[in-house]
Structure 1
Amino acid sequence: MILAWRHVPRTLCLETSSPRTPRTSKTYPSLGLSRAFWRSVTKLGLHTKPRMPPCDFTPERYQSLPYDRVLEIHRRHLSPLMTAYFSKPLLLHQGHGQWLFDHEGNRYLDFFSGIVTVSVGHCHPKVNAEAQKQLGRLWHTSAVFFHPPSHEYAEKLSALLPEPLKVIFLTNSGSEANDLAMLMARAHSKNADIISFRGAYHGCSPYTLGLSNVGQFKMTLPSGMGCQSTMCPDVFRGPWGGSCCRDSPVQTIRKCSCAPDCCQAKDQYIEQFKDTLNTSVAKSIAGFFAEPIQVQTGFGRLGSHFWGFQTHGVLPDIVTMAKGIGNGFPMAAVVTTPEIATSLAKCVLHFNTFGGSPMACAIGSAVLQVIKEENLQENSQEVGTYMLLKFAKLRDEFEIIGDVRGKGLMIGIEMVKDKMSLQPLPREEVSQIHEDCKRMGLIIGRGGIFSQTFRIAPPMCVTKAEADFAVDVFRCAVTQHMERRAL
Structure 2
Amino acid sequence: MVKIRKQNISPSLFTFYKKPLLLHQGHMQWLFDFEGRRYLDLFAGIATVGVGHCHPKVTAAARKQLGRLWHTSNIYLHPPIHEYAEKLASLLPEPLKVVYLTNSGSEANDLAMLMARVFTRNFDIISLRGCYHGGSLYTMGPTAIGHYKQAAGSSFGCQTTMSPDVFRGPWGGSHCRDSPVQTIRKCTCSPDSCHAKNQYVEQLKDTFRTCVPKAIAGFIAEPIQGVVGAVQYPKGFLKEAYQLVRERGGVCIADEVQTGFGRTGSHFWGFQGHGVVPDIVTMAKSIGNGFPMAAVVTRAEIASALAQNLHFNTYGGNPLACTVGSAVLDAIEEDGLQKNCKEVGTYMLLEFAKLRDQFEIVGDVRGKGLLIGIEMVTDKETREPLPHEEVAEIMEDCKDMGVIVGRGGLFFQTFRVKPPMCITKEDVDFAVAVFRAAFTRHMERRAAAN
Quick check: TM above 0.5?
yes
Query: 1:121, CA displacement in angstroms?
Result: 0.2
- Structure 2 Cα separation of the partners of residues 224 and 272 of structure 1: 20
For the aligned residues, what is the CA RMSD?
A: 0.9
Separation (CA, whole Å) in 2 of partners of 1:260 and 1:251 = 16
Displacement over 2 Å in runs of 4+: 259-262
Q: 1:463, 1:260 → 2: CA distance?
A: 36
Identical amino acids, percent of aligned pairs: 70
Match of 1:419 in 2: 380
Change (3 A) 1:431 1:91: same
Deviation per residue, 1:254-313 (Å, 9 max, x gap): 001214574221111111100001101111110000110001201001100000000000
Q: What is the 5 A alignment of 1:22-41?
A: none
Aligned to 2:416, the other structure's residue is in SS state strand
Alignment of 1:52-71 (within 5 A): 70-71=1-2
| TM-score scaled by length of structure 2 | 0.92
Shift of 1:81: 2.1
**In structure 1, distance between residues paired with 2:77 and 2:193:** 51
Is this contact kept in 2: 1:193–1:286, CA < 8 A? yes
Which residue pairs with 2:70 in the alignment?
139
Structure 1 residue aligned with 2:58 = 127
Aligned to 2:147: 216
Q: Does 1:320 align with 2:282?
A: yes
What is the CA deviation profile of residues 299-339 of structure 1, one whole-angstrom value per residue up to 9, with x for unaligned ones? 00110000000000011000000010000000000000001
CA distance in structure 1 between the aligned counterparts of 2:192 and 2:320, rounded to whole angstroms: 45
User: Structure 1 length normalisation: TM-score?
Assistant: 0.85
How far apart are residue 224 of structure 1 and its match?
Answer: 3.9
Return the index of the structure with the highest Cα Rg. Answer: 1
Once residues 12 and 394 of structure 2 are traced to their aligned partners in structure 1, the CA distance between those partners, rounded to angstroms, is 23
**How many residues in Structure 1 have an aligned counterpart in Structure 2?**
417
1:204 aligns to 2:135 (yes or no):
yes
**Inter-partner Cα distance in structure 2 for 1:259 and 1:304:** 26
Q: Whole-Å Cα distance in 1 between the matches of residues 40 and 295 of structure 2?
A: 29
Amino acid in the other structure paired with 1:383: V
Aligned to 1:301: 263
Provide Cα deviations, 1:174-197, integer angstroms capped at 9, x if missing partner. Answer: 000000000000000101100111
- Structure-2 residue corresponding to 1:286: 217
Q: What amino acid is aligned across from residue 319 of structure 1 in structure 2?
A: V
Question: What CA deviation, in whole Å up to 9, does each residue of 1:198-252 have, x standing for no partner?
Answer: 0000110000011111010111221242111101111101111210101100000
Residue 97 (structure 1) aligned with residue 28 (structure 2): yes
Correspondence for 2:299: 337
Tell me which amino acid in the other structure corresponds to 1:120: V
Aligned to 2:180: 249
1:442 aligned residue: 403
Q: 2:19 aligns to what?
A: 88
Instruction: Report the Cα distance in structure 2 between the residues aligned to 1:71 and 1:266, rounded to whole angstroms.
Output: 48
Alpha-carbon distance in 2 for matches of 1:259, 1:388? 26
Candidates 439, 443, 446, aligned match of 1:478: 439
Which consecutive unaligned segments of at least 5 residues does structure 2 have? 227-257
What does the per-residue CA deviation read over 1:69-119, in whole Å, with 9 as the maximum and x for residues that have no partner? Answer: x00000100011252000111111100010001111111000000000000
Secondary structure of the 2:140 match is: helix
Paired with 1:264 and 1:419, the residues of 2 have a C-alpha distance of: 22
- Alignment correspondent of 2:394: 433
Measured in 2, the distance between the counterparts of 1:134 and 1:364 equals: 12
Distance (Å, rounded) in 1 between the aligned partners of 2:218 and 2:419: 32
* Deviation per residue, 1:323-365 (Å, 9 max, x gap): 100000000000000010111112x311000001100000000
Match of 1:50 in 2: none
Aligned to 2:363: 402
Say which is worse superposed, 266-275 or 255-264, in terms of deviation: 255-264
CA distance in 1, matches of 2:431, 2:192: 32
- Tell me the equivalent position of 1:62: none
Distance 1:241 1:263 in 2: 9
Equivalent residue, structure 2, for 1:237: 168
Contact between 1:97 and 1:124, CA under 8 Å: does it hold in 2?
A: yes
SS at match of 2:87: helix
1:10 paired residue number:
none
| One-letter amino acid matched to 1:344 | L
Match of 1:107 in 2: 38
Kept after mapping to 2: 8 A contact 1:167/1:338: yes
Partner of 2:334: 373
Contact 1:244–1:261 (8 Å) recurs in 2: no
Q: Secondary structure at the match of 2:223?
A: coil
